[in-house]
Amino acid sequence: MAPILDIQHLYKNYGATEILKDINVSIEPGDFLVLVGPSGCGKSTLLNCIAGLEPITGGTLKIGGEDMTHVSPKDRDIAMVFQSYALYPTMSVAKNITFGMKVRGVDQATQDRKLAEVARQLQIEPLLKRRPGQLSGGQRQRVAMGRALVRDPKLFLFDEPLSNLDAKLRVEMRTEIKSLHQRLGASMVYVTHDQIEAMTLATKIVVMKGGVIQQIGTPAEIYNKPANLFVADFMGSPAMNLIPAKARANGVGTKLEIARDGAEPIVLTDARAKNLPEDVILGLRPEDISEPGYRSGESVQEAQCQVAIVEPAGADTYVMTTLGGKQITARLHAETAAAPGAAHTFAFDLGKVSYFNPGTGERIL
C-alpha cells in the first residue's frame, strides 16, 4: 500500500533561520508515528507543516499519495488535537464536536448520528450540554479527542495532547489513546517530549534535535540500537550509561578498559566486537548492569565498584557508582544488599552493549 504520509527533503525556514532540515519520513496506513525530542527541536513545527498550518520552504509532503504543499488544512483530511485542547470556549461540548461538520455543511441528521457515536465511544454523553470551562482537564482532553474522531480523517495529528494533565491522568489517557489506535486502526502522528509516551505509543519513532532527524525506527530499535549519543541519552529512563573506555583487540574480541575510582581499571571483554578504535564510549542500559546470579551467559562479566548512592524505587533499586569518571546507574532488584560507601559486585551484560565514537557521537557498533 502507498504510504499514508510521505515527507521528502522537507525544509522549513523562518526568515534566515532553518527550523527543519532535510526531513525524510513516511508511514504506512495504521502506523502510529511519534515525533520526539527536546523543546525547540522542531517537532511541533513539523506537525504544523503536516497539518498545513505552516507553509513548507522546500521538499514535498504527501498525504494519501497526494501532494499537499499548497492544500489548505481543511482539505487535507486530517484532524488535530492540541496541547491546550483549543476548545471553542463559548460553545457547548456538542457544538465543539460538530462545529467542523457544520462548517463543511454536513446535514443535521449525520451530525447528530456522528456526535452520538463519538460521545458513546469516549463516554462523554453526560457532558454534551456543558461548556469547556465547566469541564476538568481530563474531560476537556476527551472532548478534544471527540472533535478529532468525529471527522474520521485519513490522518490524526496530536500535538503534545497529554502534557497539561496530571501524572496519573496522563498514564490513563495514554493507555486510552493506544487502545483507540488499535481499535480504529487509524494512522496517527503524535508529538511529545516525553520519551516514555513515545516508547509506549509508537509503532515508529522519529527522534529529532535542532531540526534534524537523529534516528527513525521502531521503539525497540531506538532503545536497543540508538544511532548516536544524543538518542542514547534522550531515550530511556534512567538514561543509558555512557562510559568512556579504552578498547584493545585481543585474540577473541576486544578488551575494554574502564577507569575506576581509587582502584585498578575494570577490564571487560566483548567477544563480538571487532575493529574498534582505541577510544570508545560504551553504552549500557541500567538494566544491563545487575548483580551476579541474575543473568548468565558469555556476555556477563563481574566487577567490584564503589557504591555512591542507593535509590529504592519500589520494584527496583537504582544504584549509582562512578566508572570512567561518569556517574553510572545500575538497575538492581529491590532487595539488593548494596549500601552507600561500600564496595559491591556488579554483573555487566555486554550482550546489548552499544559503542559510540567519542568524537562524532555516532554509533560504531
Partner 1 sequence: MTDVSATPAAAAATRSQGAGLKTALRWGLYLILALFAVYYLLPLFVMLTTSLKSLEEIRTGDLVALPREVTFDAWAKAWSGACTGIQCEGVRPYFWNSVQIAVPGVLISTLLGAVNGYVIAQWRFKGANIIFALMLFGCFIPFQVVLLPMARLLGLMGIAGTIPGLIFVHVIYGIGFTTLFFRNYYVTIPQELVKAAKVDGASFLRIFWSIFLPLSIPIIVVSVIWQFTQIWNDFLFGVSFSSAGTQPVTVALNNIVNSTTGVKEYNVDMAAAIIAALPTLLVYVVAGKYFIRGLTAGSVKG
Alpha-carbon distance of 291 to 318, in angstroms, equals: 12
Pick the binder of partner 1 from 85, 190, 230, 346 (CB under 8 A): 85
* Minimum CB–partner distance for residue 38 and partner 1 (Å): 21
- 315 near partner 1, rule: CB under 8 A: no
Pick the binder of partner 1 from 132, 146, 226, 324 (CB under 8 A): 132
- 103 near partner 1, rule: CB under 8 A: yes
* Minimum CB–partner distance for residue 146 and partner 1 (Å): 13
Binding span for partner 1 by CB under 8 A among 23-31, 87-95, 292-300, 342-350: 87-95
Specify the residue, 80 or 330, whose C-beta has the smaller distance to partner 1: 80
Beta partners for 6?
Answer: 26, 62
* Minimum CB–partner distance for residue 104 and partner 1 (Å): 5
Grid coordinates belonging to 287: 538494566
Question: Residue 230 is inside which H or E element, if any?
Answer: helix 229-234
Grid coordinates belonging to 211: 531540526
Beta partners for 333?
Answer: 316
Specify the residue, 75 or 261, whose C-beta has the smaller distance to partner 1: 75
Specify the residue, 70 or 104, whose C-beta has the smaller distance to partner 1: 104
Backbone angles phi, psi at 242, to 5 degrees: -115, 105
- 86 near partner 1, rule: CB under 8 A: yes
Specify the residue, 53 or 184, whose C-beta has the smaller distance to partner 1: 53
Residue 109: count of CB within 10 angstroms of its CB? 8
CA dihedral 156, 31, 192, 316 (to 10 degrees): 140
- 57 near partner 1, rule: CB under 8 A: no
Binding span for partner 1 by CB under 8 A among 66-74, 198-206, 219-227, 245-253: 66-74
- 71 near partner 1, rule: CB under 8 A: no
* Minimum CB–partner distance for residue 202 and partner 1 (Å): 22
- 82 near partner 1, rule: CB under 8 A: yes
Binding span for partner 1 by CB under 8 A among 73-81, 114-122, 224-232, 298-306: 73-81
Judge whether 349 and 306 are in contact, CB under 8 Å: no
* Minimum CB–partner distance for residue 44 and partner 1 (Å): 11
Based on its alpha-carbon atoms, the radius of gyration of the chain, rounded to whole angstroms, reads: 25
Judge whether 180 and 158 are in contact, CB under 8 Å: no
Binding span for partner 1 by CB under 8 A among 46-54, 227-235, 239-247, 266-274: 46-54
Specify the residue, 87 or 332, whose C-beta has the smaller distance to partner 1: 87
Grid coordinates belonging to 329: 546507574
SS (H, E, C) 168-216: HHHHHHHHHHHHHHHHHCCEEEEEECCHHHHHHHCCEEEEEECCEEEEE
* Minimum CB–partner distance for residue 86 and partner 1 (Å): 4
Pick the binder of partner 1 from 38, 67, 74, 277 (CB under 8 A): 74
- 72 near partner 1, rule: CB under 8 A: yes
Question: Residue 326 is inside which H or E element, if any?
Answer: strand 326-333
- 158 near partner 1, rule: CB under 8 A: no
Q: Is 103 exposed, middle or buried (0-12, 13-18, 19+ CB in 10 A)?
A: exposed
Q: Is 259 exposed, middle or buried (0-12, 13-18, 19+ CB in 10 A)?
A: middle
Grid coordinates belonging to 254: 576486544
Alpha-carbon distance of 213 to 24, in angstroms, equals: 8
Return the residues of window 271-310 that contact partner 1 according to CB under 8 A.
Answer: none
- Binding residues for partner 1, per CB under 8 A? 48, 51, 53, 72-74, 78-80, 82-91, 99-100, 103-104, 131-137, 140, 147, 159, 164
